Amino acid sequence: MSTIEPLRRFFEAARGSGVRISPAESIDAVRAVEAVGYADRAVLRDALGLVLAKTAEEKAALAACFDLYFRRDDLAAPEAAAPDPAAPPRGEGAGAGAGLGRLLREGDGPALAAAMEAAGEAAGLPNIRFFTQRNLYARRVLDHMGLRAVEQEIAALEDAGDAEAARLEAAVTRLRGQVRDFVERNLLLFARGETEEFREELLKSTRLSNLDRRDYARMQVLVRAIAKKLAARYARPRTRRLRGQLDIRRTMRRNMGWGGIPFITTWKQKRIEKPRVIVLCDVSGSVAAMAQFLLMFLYALNEALADIRSFAFAGSLIEVSEILEAEPIETAIAKILGIIGFGSSNYGNSLADFEDGWMGIVDRRATVLILGDARGNRTDPRVEIVARIATRAKRVIWLNPEYRAAWGTGDSDMFRYAPHCQMVRGCSTLRDLERVVTDLLEMTR
Amino acid sequence: MPYSADLPRGAPAADRQVTSIEAVENGLAASGYIPSRQIATAVYLAHHLQKPVLVEGPAGVGKTELAKSIAAWLDLPLIRMQCYEGLDEAKALYEWKYGKQLLYTQILREKIGEVLGDTDSLNAALGKLHGFGDLFFSPEFLEPRPLLRALQADAGAVLLVDEVDKSDQEFEAFLLEILSDYQVTIPEIGRIAATVPPVVILTSNSMRDLGDALKRRCLHLHIGFPDAKLEARIIASRVPEADAGLRTQLVAFVQSLRGLDLKKPPSVSETIDWARVLVLLHARTLEADLVRDTLNVLLKFEADIETAGRQLGELVAKARG
């Protein structure tokens, strides 16, 4: 059992650093380690990397975690460089106060490291989760190592006026530093995963309009990760078999070699086309944040979509496809806002712009996404234009970042547009966005 | 359970040869493939854990070559299956020999009078008919395709599933049974298990992300571009005619080329080709003009050749030390 315990803890730490490890994989890893042994550190790392990490990023994360985890011997003398987790060094453990004094006096590095390991385990160090717990755990580890007894010893020596006291005091100070490092390392190993995960979950369900500036970078990473997952699933042209409809022409052709006797049957199938998307984004005021993430999402999905044409509007409407293709999304958005200006939105005017300039691109393969709060500041909503778009397009989806309860109140024309849209969705968080985009890719009719 | 004790062992010949990671390194080197430590570890583990290896990496770093070299070293037949969109069971696993089945039924029709001639009632005739084995769907009429051939190889085999990322997702799912248990199920016949599990190498160019289920069943080996030392050894093994001085220079040049911002950096196969070209042209050292004339061996895009051409002077000077 002692062989497996350090590995099990390593798996736990590795999961924290973002490598997914299933139970089956951990069994494989244990078998792999049995096959290669602990003798060669590089080989051990390679072996674990081969079995556990499944992408280049995971390999890098795992290697970093490996180095952190198996760097347990930094107190050790250089000749004892290779760690041997097969036999985790166990010092005298808790309450070995006299032992600690002796170790400090002799400066026995490896033994001190071993004692620290054991004390860490006794103090439940792998349960550490927050950086505020560092001091608490450092204290606990020191207690388990028997610092109290050494402190008493120092006090006694001082009373006796022994010069030894100062030397011992210095050794204890050094030890404190080392324990603090040790705790810090454990915090990195065991706590990172959970807190990251927690934050990400939180971010996914935060209203995008309320998002903190400092979370933008992390949000972008999240959006890209989700988009990548969806793109991988939907990027290839797909066909769907129509159950029970024999494709007679192909079947005859295929079975010609056997005199037309149908050994192999071919069934009719339908090709599922990638969606063509036309996006109309309101970029005024509170909708701007949402627009940014929607556009980021769609452009990260490039491979899974046949074509994207994007338009931005506030007081009037312009096409922004080129700007978005040429520049990274953050600078592109700023540029777009610069061109359109921060005016108040005028839906009727913008829709008329779209009809005049680009109605020709709306055809039966196109999905029109309109993102906006439908608040036109009491201008004419020109509902009939949306109706005309709807008759030409495959479908019209309206995404509204407001709470459903706010629709139709004040100057909101949401309910006047709604009858002409195939789908009207509230869409304010990343999770909503993911759902909408998945629907978009999933719909085959 | 995939980990039961009665899992068949690997090829006995391979058992004797795959004794340690060093043995793998030396063995592969002897058959002309210079592996990095990581590659050798992967091959060693693949044998001892009985798991397939999924090899990913850019084109031309020797993914396919690895499988060939393992086959050459262990003296096992190499069975190669190239994946492409639309590849299905009939092409990968087995197909019935329809023509023969057709002939069989015709023969049966002719002979049926003779066989059933002496029976006088319908029941007796049926009884006699049931007495014959059902030959129509029997192994004799089975046309094995690469996967089945690999399972049926008596002394074991090396199965190379090339560019698995180009196949459909359904096919990937279909591979799972073979990869984890080394067996396939043919509806008409039943389960066919490998007597000796083959060494399975899958390669992928990351055209698309493979499914987690597939990845989980494999050892995941990523082969990147080799470092200068390893690459020099590879050139020495593949193009022994190139002398040491030229070798160091050309490897240094290629290595620095990879540092540039290129569409497609040259990989090992291109370095080997280039080394052969330089030997053919009787080059002793790298000269800027010579490099400029032969750059199209290394770089496959016009834009890349232009990018490299602009800094050719310095790059060559640096490579010459």
User: By the 8 A CB rule, do B258 and B225 touch?
Assistant: yes
pLDDT tier for residue B270 given thresholds of 50, 70 and 90: very high
CB burial of residue B54 (10 Å; 0-12, 13-18, 19+): buried
pLDDT at A20: 81
Q: Radius of gyration over alpha carbons of chain A, in Å?
A: 32
Query: Does a structural domain hold residue A215?
Result: no
Cα A352 from Cα A365, distance rounded (Å) = 22
Q: What is the pLDDT of residues B51-97, one digit of tens each?
A: 999 999 888 888 999 999 999 999 999 999 999 888 888 888 888 88
Query: Does a structural domain hold residue A13?
Result: yes
User: By the 8 A CB rule, do A9 and A185 touch?
Assistant: no
Residues A306 and A391 in one domain: yes
Candidate ranges A1-5, A257-261, A339-343, A403-407; pick with highest mean pLDDT: A403-407
The verdict on a CB contact (< 8 Å) between A49 and B38 is: yes
Judging contacts by C-beta atoms under 8 Å, the chain B residues touching residue A22 are: 216
The verdict on a CB contact (< 8 Å) between A263 and B221 is: no
pLDDT at B202: 94
Query: Does a structural domain hold residue A313?
Result: yes
Q: Which residue has the tokens 């290669």?
A: A36
Q: What is the DSSP letter of B35?
A: -
Judging contacts by C-beta atoms under 8 Å, the chain A residues touching residue B3 are: 27, 31
Judging contacts by C-beta atoms under 8 Å, the chain A residues touching residue B215 are: 54
Q: Name the CATH architecture for the domain at B12-84+147-222.
A: 3-Layer(aba) Sandwich (3.40)
Q: Mean pLDDT over all residues of chain B?
A: 85
Nearest CB neighbour to B220, from listed A24, A31, A54: A54
Judging contacts by C-beta atoms under 8 Å, the chain B residues touching residue A259 are: 102
Average pLDDT rounded to a whole number, residues B158-171: 88
The verdict on a CB contact (< 8 Å) between A36 and B21 is: yes
The verdict on a CB contact (< 8 Å) between B208 and A235 is: yes
Q: Which of B136, B214, B219, B225 to mutate to test the interface with A (most CBs of A within 10 A)?
A: B219
Looking at residue A363, its amino acid is D
Q: Token digits for A276?
A: 């063509």
The verdict on a CB contact (< 8 Å) between A35 and B215 is: no
Shortest Cα distance, chain B CAs vs residue A76, angstroms? 27
Q: What is the DSSP string of A132-158?
A: GGHHHHHHHHHHHHTHHHHHHHHHHHH
Q: Which residue of A has its CA nearest to B57?
A: A56
Residues A330 and A256 in one domain: no
Q: What is the pLDDT of residues A42-81, one digit of tens each?
A: 888 899 999 998 887 788 888 888 888 877 554 433 333 3
CB burial of residue A309 (10 Å; 0-12, 13-18, 19+): middle
Shortest Cα distance, chain B CAs vs residue A439, angstroms? 20
Residues A292 and A412 in one domain: yes
Q: What is the pLDDT of residues B203-252, one digit of tens each?
A: 998 777 788 888 888 999 999 899 999 999 999 999 999 888 899 999 99
Query: Does a structural domain hold residue A171?
Result: yes
pLDDT at B11: 59
Which residue, B195, B183, B174, is CA-closest to B2?
B183
pLDDT at A391: 92
pLDDT at B155: 85
Q: Say what the pTM is.
A: 0.69
Q: Which of A14-18, A137-141, A149-153, B26-30 has the lowest mean pLDDT?
A: A14-18
Judging contacts by C-beta atoms under 8 Å, the chain A residues touching residue B38 are: 46, 49-50
The verdict on a CB contact (< 8 Å) between A258 and B209 is: no
User: B56 forms bridges with which residues in the sheet?
Assistant: B204, B222
pLDDT at A96: 44
pLDDT at B104: 84
Residues A175 and A260 in one domain: no
Query: Does a structural domain hold residue A188?
Result: yes
Above pLDDT 70, what percent of chain A?
88
Residues of B with CB under 8 A from a CB of A: 2-3, 21, 37-38, 41-42, 44-45, 48-49, 51, 56, 85, 90, 96, 98-99, 101-102, 168, 208-209, 212, 215-216, 219-222
pLDDT tier for residue A244 given thresholds of 50, 70 and 90: confident
Cα A57 from Cα A63, distance rounded (Å) = 10
Nearest CB neighbour to B102, from listed A28, A261, A264: A261
Residues A295 and A431 in one domain: yes
Query: Does a structural domain hold residue A265?
Result: yes
Nearest CB neighbour to A32, from listed B45, B98, B221: B45
The HSE-up count of residue B200 (CA atoms within 13 Å, CB side) is 32
Give the structural domain span for A75.
4-200
Residues of A with CB under 8 A from a CB of B: 20, 22, 24-25, 27-28, 31-32, 35-36, 42-43, 46-47, 49-51, 53-56, 59, 228, 232, 235-236, 257-259, 261, 263-264
Domain boundaries, chain B: 12-84+147-222, 94-140, 228-319
pLDDT at A82: 37
Nearest CB neighbour to A50, from listed B2, B101, B220: B220
Residues A331 and A379 in one domain: yes
Judging contacts by C-beta atoms under 8 Å, the chain B residues touching residue A254 are: none
Q: What is the pLDDT of residues A298-319, one digit of tens each?
A: 887 776 777 888 898 888 888 8
Which residue, B194, B181, B192, is CA-closest to B153?
B194
Judging contacts by C-beta atoms under 8 Å, the chain B residues touching residue A236 are: 85, 168, 208
Residues A184 and A281 in one domain: no
Looking at residue A301, its amino acid is L
Shortest Cα distance, chain A CAs vs residue B267, angstroms? 18
Structural domain count of chain A: 3
pLDDT at A87: 38
The verdict on a CB contact (< 8 Å) between A25 and B49 is: no
Q: Which residue of A has its CA nearest to B96?
A: A263
Cα A114 from Cα A80, distance rounded (Å) = 12
Q: Which residue of A has its CA nearest to B45?
A: A32
Q: What is the pLDDT of residues B16-31, one digit of tens each?
A: 788 888 999 999 999 8
Better-scored residue on pLDDT, B43 or A291: B43
pLDDT at A102: 78
Q: Which residues contact B150 (CB under 8 A, 6 or more apart)?
A: B79, B157, B159, B194, B198, B200
What is the interface size between A and B, counted as CB pairs within 8 Å? Answer: 73
pLDDT at B159: 93
pLDDT at B7: 46
Query: Does a structural domain hold residue A230?
Result: no
Shortest Cα distance, chain A CAs vs residue B246, angstroms? 32
Query: Does a structural domain hold residue A232?
Result: no
Average pLDDT rounded to a whole number, residues A397-420: 88
Residues A261 and A322 in one domain: no
The verdict on a CB contact (< 8 Å) between B216 and A261 is: no
The verdict on a CB contact (< 8 Å) between A35 and B209 is: no
Residues A301 and A350 in one domain: yes
Residues A249 and A318 in one domain: no
pLDDT tier for residue A342 given thresholds of 50, 70 and 90: low
CB burial of residue B264 (10 Å; 0-12, 13-18, 19+): middle
Give backbone dihedrals phi and psi of A429, rounded to 5 degrees, phi first: -120, 170
